[in-house]
Every structure is written in C-alpha cells, then in structure tokens.
Chain A
C-alpha cells in the first residue's frame, strides 16, 4: 500500500494549486473553480484515510462535501450573474468600490 504521507502530499499540492488559482485569477468563475479544486483536495484525504482507518466515515463524508460544493456553485453562479448585470463584467477586481 502507498504510504499515507503520499496522499497527504498529493492533497496538499491540489489544495495549493487551487489556492494559487484563487490568488492569481480575476475572473470570478475561475475563482469558483479553484475553490472546487481545494474542496476536492479535502476529499482526497477523506477517501484515502477512510481506507487507512478501515472505516467509511471519510468516504461517506466526501459525498456530502461534493453535494455542498454543488450547492455553493448554485449560489455562486447566481451572485456572479447579478454581478454581471450590475458591473458589466465578471472580474472580481471591478467590484472594489467599498474599501478602507
């Protein structure tokens, strides 16, 4: 069996790639996709350690995380839609009028 650390390294890498996307892309949709990637990094851990510990808690919970990600996207798309109607773009840097 593959050592547990490898799964952790993989998930950390996926998490940070997602985070990298969040930090460097202005498009709100990319932001959303990157967050999905980060959530799936968590899922890697859940599934991998479900096997490691020999219980199904992690695998089952991963399904819930996926479902929640879907719910989050639903709301997120709605907000981005409204953003586009108001600001004429889906760039997160355009909506920056409130500050300080």
Chain B
C-alpha cells in the first residue's frame, strides 16, 4: 500500500487501466452482454442501448467482442512475452555467465535470427509448422527472444563482473542459482522496462500477421484482428475500428507508464 501511495498519477492511471483490462478479461463471460461469436443482429448496426458499440461486419456485438478480445489479446500477448522473456533472459544471462564458446555460439545463432526480417521469418515458420495458436505463440516468442537475449546478455555482462557473483561462485553455487538469484534480480528492472514495449509489439505483430492472412484463428475475438477486420471502414470516416485501436493504444500507454515508474524506482534504489 505504501508502494501505491508513492506512485505518480501516471502509474496509478496505468495500473487502473491494466487492472480493469485484466478483470474484464478474466470475467469476460460474466461481463459481456452477448457471446463471443454470437450473431445478434444485422451488420454494422449503429450504437444503441441494445448494442452499446454497435455490431460488426457479421452482426456480432462489438462490445462483447471487445470484452472477449481483452481476454484473448492480453492473454496471448502475456503468454508470448512471458516465454520470450523467460527464454531470452535465461539464455542471455547464461551466455554472459559462461562466456567463451558458449557465448559465441549463442550470440551468433541469435545474430542469424535477427538478420532475417521478422515478418518473413514468421510467415515462413508458420507456413512450415502450421498456423495454430500454440505455434504462433512459439514463433513470435522465438522472434522476440532475440532482442531480449541481447539486452539481458548486455545487462548481465555488467553484473557478472561484480564481486558478489565471484563470491557466489566461490561458495560453489550452481549455474541455476547464479542465474536466478544473483544475476536475474539485478537485471530485472531493465527487463521490465523493455517488457512494457515488447508486450505491445507482440500484439501489434499478431495484428500484422492477421493483416497478411495468418494470425489468430477466427472467430476468436482479438483486438489486433478486430482493427484489421474493420480497418477499411476508417477511410470512410467510420469510427468502429478506432475502438479496438484505441484500446490497444490505451493499454500500451498504461503499461509503459507502469514500466517507467518501476524503472524509476529501481534506479532510485541503486543510487
């Protein structure tokens, strides 16, 4: 609670938005007036008491899809970012700790991944292994793992040269302990700040994949795909696609407010 009291207004705003999104996501079936895929009326109905945000191109309730979209979008992005950060950070720290050929091999492999344009890599990998949701999560995680690896390796490099790591080695600590207890806590603020942006990039990436014809499976509601499905309307001055796009923007800004604050706190502790 004292933590919350010291938070700047921007961070409080961010946390409120995030909490609201998570809650709506978790309780989507209770909150949403209609089903996720239920066709409730004609297409493109305007806003009304019955359909607060109107209906979409198949006559599904926009509001309900936004609510279910929160669940799918945020859930998937969290999962993907989580995997990318988990693996990327683990490998990056491992490379920094071991140095030598382990570092060389891992770093060169990551170079290769980064040298291939991400969209192309995703298109090819998904075409090879098939575009199911688990596959998509895996592929995006692999793509985003690369920059996370680099970042955490660079950050961990600064830490592994510190004496407390030597001290832990001299205690005979195993690699896992060194990574988890000695290094990770010291690079976590860097990772958190990065995770804020990456988290958003992930669902933008999913949206871009949808744009190119792969991505989340219909009729699953997801904000990125919802922008895509309705995007053409914007050129006719229809605001419908602005709703999911606005939701993405709001969430991005909020998450980064929180990340900024955490970073600030972490750096404040250090000095």
Instruction: Indicate, yes or no, whether A interacts with B.
Output: no
Interface residues of B (CB under 8 A from A): none
Interface residues of A (CB under 8 A from B): none
